[in-house]
Amino acid sequence: MRNPQRNDMYVNPEGAKAVVNNVMAPNTAGVQFLEYKLIGSPKLYFLPVQEFVEQFEFVETFASFDIYIEERNKI
């Protein structure tokens, strides 16, 4: 299992691609959340890291914002 990092791209079983925007420090209960965005959507989503890695599979890491734009334009 890979630990999600900023600019990592993941895909879910339905084929939706998500990009990790931020991985937050664990809260007082020890739960670590991450912020991600589905490519082509303006919304930000938040999930515990454990739930995220159960729902999404790692694809690649973006080297630049240009790659994000290319992926978004494919939709």
Domain ranges of the chain: 8-74
Question: E strands within 1-75?
Answer: 8-11, 17-23, 33-38, 44-48, 57-61
pLDDT digits (tens, 9 = 90+) for 16-75: 999 999 999 999 999 999 999 998 888 999 999 999 999 999 998 876 556 666 666 776
Q: Which CATH number fits domain 8-74: 2.30.30, 1.10.510, 1.10.287, 2.60.40?
A: 2.30.30
**pLDDT at 75 (0 to 100):** 60
Residue 61 DSSP SS3: strand
Q: Cα separation of 16 and 10, whole Å? A: 8
- Sheet of strand 44-48, all strands in order from the earlier edge strand to the far edge: 44-48, 33-38, 17-23, 8-11, 57-61
CA 29 – CA 19 distance, rounded (Å): 25
